[in-house]
Amino acid sequence: MFVQLLDSIGQFGAGIGAGIAVIGVGMGIGRLAATSVESMARQPEASADIRGSMILTAALIEGVALFGEVVCLLIAVS
Amino acid sequence: MTHFLSPVSFLRHAASQCLGVALVLCTTWGGGALATEPQNANHPAPGASTENLVHEMEAGEKFDVSETLMHHVIENHDWHIMDLPGTNGYTEIAVHLPWMLYHSEKGFQFFMLSEGSEHANEEKALQHGYALSHGKLHPVRADVQVLEAGGIPSEEFAAHLELDEAGNWVPKKGDHHVVRTHSGVLYAVDTEASVLDFSISKTPLHMMIVALLMLLVFTSVARAYKKRGVKSAPKGLQSLVEPVIMFVEENIAAPNMHGKHKRFMPYLLTLFFFIWISNMLGLMPLSSNIAGNISVTAALAALTLLVTWFSSNKAYWQHIFWFPGVPTGVKFIMMPVEIVGMFTKPFSLTIRLFANIAGGHFMVLALVSLIFILGDSGKSAAGAYGIMPLSVAFTLFILTLEVLVAALQAYVFTMLTAVFIGQAMESHDHHHEHATEDTATVAHA
């Protein structure tokens, strides 16, 4: 039975890897959103600047998650 | 009820409302049409199903999710628009694109595989010395027989074949010595010949369409500026394009390039608009997404790297090879680190744009495939209709997010390009200038 499992252990790993990548990014962007919203509340005049850098840094952090996703996808399809 | 200043603005508002409702209706209808397709696929006239070019299921075949997803994402040599259901199977509406190959022995080859059926396409490809398998051409030795009389593999190829569930001989997974065409014939791949593929396939065709669109828009805007001058108020297409250009110049180029940004504006604007327009076009039906092909994003990142190198000054190279301000031993460690760092930046640009765009399309494809999976490949209408509202709703949500991602990824790519070029142009004195500035502020406080 272990021999039959061996074929799909790669797929198993790819799925877990994709999930772990998403955990890290979720925590990171969640922290980003929390602190940026708090700073917008403290200084509403800087709202526009903060919103701009919030969106930009969210895209950059998401890029990192997508590196992991691409690796997992490569494992899953080959 | 909002207050409108004029009948024109009311009409514009009403038009946009109608457009929004029409979009929702179209997506829902489209989702419903997709869900009813499996039932059609099981009703072609008997004896006709093997000869049509349906890329979806033939009668009785199970829906293969990963194959469908891969088929939509990888490079294709036809622009497949739609299959119209007819009395005798499907009629395919597609734009067939030419194959342009350079074979190491036979030289340049130029042909189109646009026959009516897959079988005829395979015959035509064989005439040129290639086997057509899953949309790819492999150079084959047509005179060599893989299966001898009686269906037993010959000595040469026995190691490359295995039996599948239906009892047919198929090439082993990942093996490149034998290839099996759609009609089930095995061919021996010519492993010595090297073939370069220069064809205009789907992605280059769509890149040219985007380039043509950009050319038309921007030359007309430039002509308008020439005619009207820069001091008068913009009209028409100018008013659409000018704020975006000013945004790129003021927010992306100028803060990152310290005064020398005018030289790079053409490159940055081209990058920004090309990525944005191609992402937006990729979201529309019938079109293909360009940045979802990693070769395209790698080419854009390579261009950024080249522009960075050509605009770099001595201080940049000194920082890479002989980092100033650290002890000599550390300099030797820093050198490989910095060299690798020079290449990871365009690599991350590539992967970021590719994964964002391809991932969005993948998610939409997967959600729509849910309809087919839960409809049990056409056997369960209740399953298909049941999942359809949920699937279409999620697809709408993902597509809305993709519209945001289209613009955002263009912005991020262009901004990082501007940052890298700015870093390459930074003079050595700038570093020290910053240092004295900070200490001065501290002293004052």
ipTM of the shown complex = 0.83
Picking from A56, A59, A66, the nearest residue to B359 by CB comes out as A66
Range of the domain at A61: 21-77
Bridge partners of B358?
Answer: none
Q: Give the C-alpha separation, B202 to B288, whole Å.
A: 7
Residue A14 lies in a domain: no
- CB B404, CB A51: distance < 8 Å: no
Distance from C-alpha of B358 to C-alpha of B372, rounded to nearest angstrom: 21
Least Cα distance to B256 among B436, B408, B413, B420 occurs for B420
Identify the pLDDT of residue B21.
Answer: 54
Q: Is residue A42 part of a domain?
A: yes
Pairwise CB contact (< 8 Å): A66 & B408 = no
User: Using the beta-carbon criterion (under 8 Å), do B411 and A62 form an inter-chain contact?
Assistant: no
What pLDDT is attached to residue B197? 85
Is the residue at A4 inside a domain?
no
Q: What are phi and psi of B42, to 5 degrees?
A: -90, 0
Whether residue A30 lies inside any domain: the answer is: yes
The contacts of residue B145 (CB under 8 Å, 6+ apart) are B154
The domain total for chain A is 1
Q: A70: which chain B residues are within 8 Å (Cβ-Cβ)?
A: 351, 354-355
Mean pLDDT within A32-43: 95
**Chain B residues 164-203 with a CB less than 8 Å from chain A:** none
Report yes or no on A10 lying in a domain: no
A15 located within any domain: no
Closest residue, chain A, to B70 (C-alpha): A77
The verdict on residue A16 lying in a domain is no
- Least CB-CB distance to B352: which of A55, A63, A77? A63
CA distance B206 to A18: 31
- Kindly report the average pLDDT of chain A as a whole number: 89
Within a domain: A41: yes
Q: What is the CATH number of the domain that holds A25?
A: 1.20.20.10
Dihedral over Cα of B393, B395, B399, B401: its sign: positive
Q: Dump pLDDT digits (tens) for A5-37.
A: 777 888 899 999 999 999 999 999 999 999 999
Pick out chain B residues at pLDDT < 70.
1-61, 149-150, 377-378, 428-445
The C-alpha atoms of residue B379 and residue B375 are separated, in whole angstroms, by 6
Whether residue B410 lies within 8 A of chain A, CB to CB, comes out as no
Task: Give every CB contact of residue B314 below 8 A, 6+ residues apart in sequence.
Answer: none
Sequence-distant (≥ 6) Cβ neighbours of residue B133 within 8 angstroms = B179, B180, B181, B182
Q: Which residues pair with B130 in a beta bridge?
A: B139
Quote the pLDDT of residue B58. 55
pLDDT at A32: 95
**Is B411 in Cβ contact with A56 (below 8 Å)?**
yes
Structure tokens at A31: 């922290």
